[in-house]
Amino acid sequence: MNVPAELKYSKDHEWVKVEGDIATIGITDFAQGELGELVYVEVDTIGDELAQNDVFGTVEAVKTTSDLFLPIAGEIIEMNPELDENEGDNPAMINEDPYGKGWIVKVKIANKADIVGLMDADAYKKMIG
């Protein structure tokens, strides 16, 4: 199970990479493995200011649909064009490279204190067993 040490993690299996006041967010390797082959990603919150733990989109796998929860408050400023049905339309990129090319959104961070409450890699590994 791949759990990069430099990222932060939420209880809902999203990962966060912070660069200045921008956070890149995706779902973990564990989450994509549990969901199976992803066939659709929907994010209709671009430009919206959302609170921590608000739903910012959904991922659809062959057998299930799952909400995506924002691990930190902020403004959704970008969706990965590779995942967008109008552009790249390649949701399987999340299965192939969840921490790299499979990122889902970028967020302008509203409150850096939200990051402190997220898990580090060791805590996330303990949670998923």
Q: Please write the tens of the pLDDT for every residue from 37-65.
A: 999 999 999 999 999 999 999 999 998 99
pLDDT at position 89, please? Answer: 84
Domain locations in the chain as residue ranges: 8-120
Reported as half-sphere exposure (CB side, CA atoms, 13 A), residue 34 has a value of 12
- Average pLDDT rounded to a whole number, residues 78-94: 87
State which amino acid sits at residue 42.
E
pLDDT at position 1, please? Answer: 81
Stated as kind and residue range, the H or E segment containing 92 is helix 92-96
Confidence of residue 6 (pLDDT cuts 50, 70, 90): very high
CB 34 within 8 A of CB 25: no
Confidence of residue 121 (pLDDT cuts 50, 70, 90): very high
- For 8-120, the fitting CATH number among 3.40.50.300, 2.60.34.10, 2.40.50.100, 2.40.10.10 is 2.40.50.100
